Amino acid sequence: MSKPKSKSSPPELNPRTTKYEFLGPPGAFLISFGVPSLIYALYYGCSEESGGCPPPGLTLSSITSTLAALPTHASLLLSSSFWTATLPKVWSSIHDTNATLAYLAWYTFCVVAWAVLPGSQVSGTLIRDGTTKSYKINAFSTFLLALGLTTGVLFQQGPGGFTFLYEHWVGFVTASIGMSIVQAIGVYLWSFRDGALLAMGGNSGNTLYDWYIGRELNPSIWGFDIKTFNELRPGLILWVLVDISMICEQAVRRGGWAGVTDSMWLVALFQIGYVADGLFNEPAILTTMDITTDGFGFMLAVGDLAWVPFVYSLQARYLVFHPVELGPIATALIVAVNATGYWIFREANSSKNDFRNGKDTRGLAYLTTASGSKLITSGWWGRSRHPNYFGDLLMALAWSLPTGFDTPITYFYVTYFAVLLIHRQRRDDAHCEKKYGKDWETYKKMVPYRIIPYVY
C-alpha cells in the first residue's frame, strides 16, 4: 500500500454497516450452508456415480415428499446418536486424502508462481482512506505455466495421465470448500487488528453476517492480496484444468483423442478462451465491485475456490458420461452464439476501460457528471447499462447448448448466471445512484435498458 496514513484508522473510516444485503444474517446462513450443499447436489444429482442426470429415482415429487416428511423426523434429526452415527459416514464419503493433498499442492503452486514469476506492478483504484494498492500482474504467466506443465504430462502419459480430477471430483470439492472456510475464518479474525480498513458493507457487528459478506476490504499480507489472488488464480485456472481432465476422461473412454466429441471440444475451448481472456486482462479486475467495494469473506472465497471450478465445469463433466455429437450445422450455430457474446463482452469492457483510462479512440459520446466522472452514452454503453453482462450471458448460453436437451440440469449455469447478473446489475445501479445522484437519473433516461437492449 502506498502512502499509509496512520497506524490505526480513525473510527469514522470504518462506520457501522446499517443496511444488510442478501436478507441479512438469515440469508447469510442459508447461502453459507446452501452454496456448498448445492455444489454436492449438482454432482450427486448429475453424475454417473449416482446413475444419471438426474438419477432415475430422483424426481421433483420424490424431493418434495422427502422435504415434506422432514418435520416428522425432527426428533430423529435432533438426537445426538443420529448425528454421531451419520456424520462419520458422510465425512468418509466426501473426504479424500489424495485429493486434499493434491488441492493443497495446487494452491501452493499458485502462491509460489505469484511470488516467483516476474510481473509488472499496477495500481488499483483510489481507496477511501486516500491510498492505492499495488498489485503484481502475473496471472496469465501462471496460467501458461500450468498449461505447459499439463501439456508435459499429456505428452508423457497420454490422456490417461490427467483423469485424476474426474476420478476424485468429490474429494476436490470438499478440499476447496474446506480451504474457503479456513480462509474466511482467518481473514475475519485478522480484520480485528489495529488499522484494518473494513468494507462499508461488512462491519455490521453480526459475526455470521460479517464473516460471510467479508469484514475487511482488502486483506493482504506482505503484498499478497488474498482477494484478487483468489478471484483470478486458484479457482479460475483450476476450472481450465478440470475441463482438460474431462477431455482426457472422454478420450480414454472413446479410444483416444480422435474420440473426443465436437460438443466437448466446444465447451472446453469456449471456457478456456474465457478464462484466458480474463487472465490476460488481469488489471481490469481491479475496477470491479468485488475488488473496489466488497469485503473478502466466505461468499467470495467459496465462489472463487469451489463454485467456479466445480460448478462452471458441470457441462464438460456431463459430456464425459453422456457424449453428444453435434455435427457441423449445430456446431457452427453455437460458435456463432459464443462469438457474438464474446464480441459484445470484450468490446463493452475494452471500450469502458479505454475511455476511463483516457485512451478512447472510438469517439464515444458521454455525459459529464457533477462528480467529474464521465458516463459513456453511445456504442454498447448507449444500448444498455450493462452490455458486458449481456455478452457474458450469451456466452453462458453457448456453453450449455452443446449438451443438447436431454436434461435441464446442464442449463443450471446459464440460469444461475442470469440471476447473479440481474442481482449484480441492481446492486451496481444502487451504487451508481448513490454516487451520481441526479446525473444517474439523466443517464437512465438516455439509456433505459438494464442489460439486454430493447428487452430488459
Ligand X SMILES: NC(=O)C1=CN([C@@H]2O[C@H](COP(=O)(O)OP(=O)(O)OC[C@H]3O[C@@H](n4cnc5c(N)ncnc54)[C@H](OP(=O)(O)O)[C@@H]3O)[C@@H](O)[C@H]2O)C=CC1
Contacting residues toward ligand LWLCTGZJ, per CB under 6 A:
35, 231-232, 236, 277-278, 285, 288, 290, 299, 302-304, 307-308
Q: What is the smallest separation between the CB atom of 237 and ligand LWLCTGZJ, expressed in angstroms?
A: 11
For residues 52 and 410, is the Cβ–Cβ distance under 8 A?
no
For residues 338 and 394, is the Cβ–Cβ distance under 8 A?
yes
Q: What is the smallest separation between the CB atom of 287 and ligand X, expressed in angstroms?
A: 7
How many other β-carbons are positioned within 10 Å of the β-carbon of residue 94? 14
253 is a contact residue toward ligand X (CB under 6 A) = no
For ligand X, how many residues bind (rule: CB under 6 A)?
Answer: 19
For residues 46 and 407, is the Cβ–Cβ distance under 8 A?
yes
136 is a contact residue toward ligand X (CB under 6 A) = no
* Residue 304 binds which of ligand X, ligand LWLCTGZJ, none (CB < 5-8 A, kind-dependent): ligand LWLCTGZJ
310 is a contact residue toward ligand X (CB under 6 A) = no
Q: Which residue is nearest to ligand X (CB)?
A: 288
Of 367-396, which residues contact ligand X (CB under 6 A)?
373, 375-376, 381, 385-386, 388-389, 392
* Residue 428 binds which of ligand LWLCTGZJ, ligand X, none (CB < 5-8 A, kind-dependent): ligand X
Whose cell is 466426501? That residue is 94
The per-residue b/e assignment along 302-334, b for 16 or more CB within 10 angstroms, e otherwise, is bbbbbbbbbbbbbbbbbbbbbbbebeeebbeeb
Instruction: Write out the three cell numbers for 51.
Output: 446413475
Closest CA to 228 of 185, 284, 172, 177: 284
Closest CA to 136 of 286, 288, 5, 240: 286
* Residue 431 binds which of ligand LWLCTGZJ, ligand X, none (CB < 5-8 A, kind-dependent): ligand X
340 is a contact residue toward ligand X (CB under 6 A) = no
* Residue 136 binds which of ligand X, ligand LWLCTGZJ, none (CB < 5-8 A, kind-dependent): none
Q: Counting Cβ atoms within 10 Å, is residue 184 exposed (0-12), middle (13-18) or buried (19+)?
A: buried
Q: What is the smallest separation between the CB atom of 249 and ligand X, expressed in angstroms?
A: 24
Our CB check for ligand X shows the closer of 318 and 345 to be 345
Our CB check for ligand LWLCTGZJ shows the closer of 23 and 87 to be 23
Q: What is the smallest separation between the CB atom of 349 and ligand LWLCTGZJ, expressed in angstroms?
A: 7
143 is a contact residue toward ligand X (CB under 6 A) = no
Alpha-helical segments (H) within 45-194: 60-69, 74-78, 80-94, 97-116, 139-157, 164-167, 169-190
Q: What are the angstrom distances between the C-alpha of 192 and each of 16, 205, 415?
A: 14, 11, 38
Q: What is the smallest separation between the CB atom of 282 and ligand LWLCTGZJ, expressed in angstroms?
A: 8
Q: What is the smallest separation between the CB atom of 59 and ligand LWLCTGZJ, expressed in angstroms?
A: 25
Closest CA to 425 of 397, 396, 392, 454: 392
Q: What is the smallest separation between the CB atom of 402 and ligand LWLCTGZJ, expressed in angstroms?
A: 20
For residues 333 and 224, is the Cβ–Cβ distance under 8 A?
no
Our CB check for ligand LWLCTGZJ shows the closer of 232 and 251 to be 232
Our CB check for ligand LWLCTGZJ shows the closer of 132 and 287 to be 287
442 is a contact residue toward ligand X (CB under 6 A) = no
Number of H helices, E strands in the chain: 21, 6
* Residue 303 binds which of ligand LWLCTGZJ, ligand X, none (CB < 5-8 A, kind-dependent): ligand LWLCTGZJ
What is d(CA 164, CA 151) in angstroms, rounded to the nearest whole number?
15
Chain centroid to Cα 316, Å, comes to: 17
Of 349-368, which residues contact ligand X (CB under 6 A)?
349, 352
List interacting residues with ligand X (CB under 6 A).
Answer: 288-289, 345, 349, 352, 373, 375-376, 381, 385-386, 388-389, 392, 424, 428, 431-432, 435
